[in-house]
């Protein structure tokens, strides 16, 4: 007989339920009891006869994935356990098997964290706007008696995933590029060698050993300091390109042949142009902190650029509504309609390598047509009352065009900025773009004075 599922306290869930997923410090904020309760609630909410579960390499992963699976089985669902997986492998499994899924990961967060990313059957998004609030509410009920006793079985989907990822490129067009990949002891060290096996690349993997304590550097490639080792190795080996993956390997950032970091906007523009050439005219999505150049490139390639809010659940829903074949985020997430509208750093990386192979020019030259403006990067500021600060900034620029699609976006003509509240941390995030670095510095100083 399956043991009763302990109801979770609302204040516990308030700490760990984020806009797109569930995340917290293990085990003080998010431990096996919470994972079991969420697994049960997910099983009840989805009404599925079977769910698929994967986990990353964090030391708590086995216990947490087991607890989640036990909760789902208490709700009457069977569980397909795919074991170690990148998040895009879990999304592939959900789409391939057409069943809801759960990935036990805290992505780029430090070792003391763990988390749960959920999706519906077919890798459909689950966030606060489409199911996560209801799942949390079920988990707090006091009558969590087992609805049944499902069974768990293991299944290896890595080979099927490799075939799927490779289907996005023509392997015959790939050149023997020299590639360095920094997988930061994360799940990229598991999936990338399998995808690259037998391809013509000369690929060196940095920190490929799976180690959820992250002994070399944090698995957060959006932070410049975490690219230093990769940049040095690209230069030392004369590599054509560097690839940097985050902890669950759903994001990728590039480093060019000169060791310079490539923004997510430039890769979004490259992949968007490629997808439009393949699919023909149609909508392409980009989130509102992408460079203005992204929308320009999409339009020049015959597409219709569509601005979206930041975040995967919003973007996946908008892709379904518009029929877009691709969407990109400045933060390194790249979504493909033929990948169940889910994001995959590996697919984006392979497409970039195919384009680099065909162009037969250095990566910096390939990307130069998209590098049109200077950017501040993301500047994070802690403030006591974010709403009041955003209102103050909006009033200051009241004569300029504004929108509130996600936070505040102000269009200054030859410059623009977005100021929004983080969905995962108590921060205001500023992204600003202008014609040159001097203008960026001037405008950032101007706005920072308003944040104080």
Which positions are catalytic? Answer: 107
3-state secondary structure of 300: helix
The closest alpha carbon to 108, from 208, 218, 189, 23, belongs to 218
Q: Which two tokens stand for residue 164?
A: 């799927």
* 391 CB-near residues (< 8 Å, 6+ apart): none
Residue 313 CB: number of other CB atoms within 10 A? 22
Give the E-state strand segments of 218-352 in sequence order.
241-245, 252-255, 261-262, 283-287, 304-308, 326-328, 334-336, 342-343
Contacts of 192-196 with C-beta under 8 Å, sequence gap 24+, read 192/243, 192/245, 192/249, 192/346, 194/158, 194/159, 194/161, 194/162, 195/162, 195/165, 195/166, 195/346, 195/350
Are 144 and 5 spatial neighbours (Cβ–Cβ below 8 Å)? yes
- 107: closest CA among 246, 269, 289, 290? 246
- Show the beta-strand stretches assigned E in 36-85: 50-55, 78-84
Cα–Cα dist 235/230, whole Å: 9
What is the distance between the alpha carbons of residues 139 and 337, in angstroms, rounded to a whole number?
A: 32
d(CA 432, CA 416): 6
Tell which phi-psi region holds residue 244, choosing left (phi > 0), alpha (psi between -120 and 50) or beta: beta
| Residue position matching structure tokens 């959920």 | 118
**Residue 161: its H or E element:** helix 158-166
> Which one, of 259, 439, 248, 273, lies nearest residue 351 by Cα?
273
């Amino acid at each position: 007989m399956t043991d009763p599922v302990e109801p979770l306290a609302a204040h516990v869930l308030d700490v760990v339920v984020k806009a797109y997923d569930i995340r917290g410090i293990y085990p003080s904020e998010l431990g096996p009891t919470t994972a079991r309760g969420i697994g049960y609630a997910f099983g009840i909410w989805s009404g599925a006869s079977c769910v698929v579960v994967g986990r990353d390499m964090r030391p708590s992963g086995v216990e947490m994935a087991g607890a989640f699976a036990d909760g789902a089985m208490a709700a009457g669902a069977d569980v397909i356990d795919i074991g170690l997986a990148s998040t895009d492998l879990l999304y592939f499994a959900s789409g391939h098997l057409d069943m809801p899924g759960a990935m036990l990961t805290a992505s780029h967060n430090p070792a003391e964290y763990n988390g749960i990313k959920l999706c519906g059957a077919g890798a459909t998004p689950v966030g606060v706007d489409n199911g996560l609030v209801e799942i949390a509410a079920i988990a707090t009920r006091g009558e969590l008696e087992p609805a049944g006793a499902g069974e768990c079985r293991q299944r290896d989907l890595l080979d099927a995933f490799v075939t799927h990822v490779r289907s996005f490129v023509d392997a015959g067009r790939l050149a023997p590029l020299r590639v360095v990949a920094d997988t930061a002891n994360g799940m990229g060290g598991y999936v990338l060698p399998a995808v690259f096996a037998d391809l013509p690349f000369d690929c060196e993997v940095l920190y490929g050993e799976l180690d959820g304590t992250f002994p070399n550097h944090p698995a957060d490639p959006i932070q410049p300091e975490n690219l230093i080792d990769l940049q040095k190795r690209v230069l030392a080996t004369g590599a054509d390109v560097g690839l940097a993956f985050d902890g669950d390997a759903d994001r990728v950032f590039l480093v060019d042949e000169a060791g310079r970091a490539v923004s997510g906007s430039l890769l979004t523009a490259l992949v968007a142009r490629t997808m439009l050439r393949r699919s023909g005219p149609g909508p392409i999505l980009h989130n509102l902190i992408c460079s203005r150049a992204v929308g320009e490139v999409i339009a020049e390639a015959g597409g219709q650029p569509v601005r979206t809010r930041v975040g995967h659940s919003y973007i996946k829903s908008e892709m379904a509504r518009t029929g877009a074949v691709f969407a990109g985020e400045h933060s390194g997430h790249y979504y493909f309609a033929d990948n169940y509208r889910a994001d995959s750093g590996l697919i984006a990386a392979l497409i970039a390598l195919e384009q680099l192979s065909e162009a037969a020019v250095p990566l910096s030259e390939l990307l130069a047509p998209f590098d049109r403006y200077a950017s501040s990067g993301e500047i994070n500021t802690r403030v006591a009352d974010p709403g009041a600060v955003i209102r103050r900034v909006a009033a200051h620029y009241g004569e300029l065009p504004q929108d509130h699609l996600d936070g505040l976006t102000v269009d200054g003509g030859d410059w623009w900025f977005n100021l929004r509240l983080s969905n995962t941390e108590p921060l205001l995030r500023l992204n600003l773009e202008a014609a040159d670095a001097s203008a960026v510095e001037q405008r950032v100083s101007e706005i920072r004075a308003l944040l104080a």
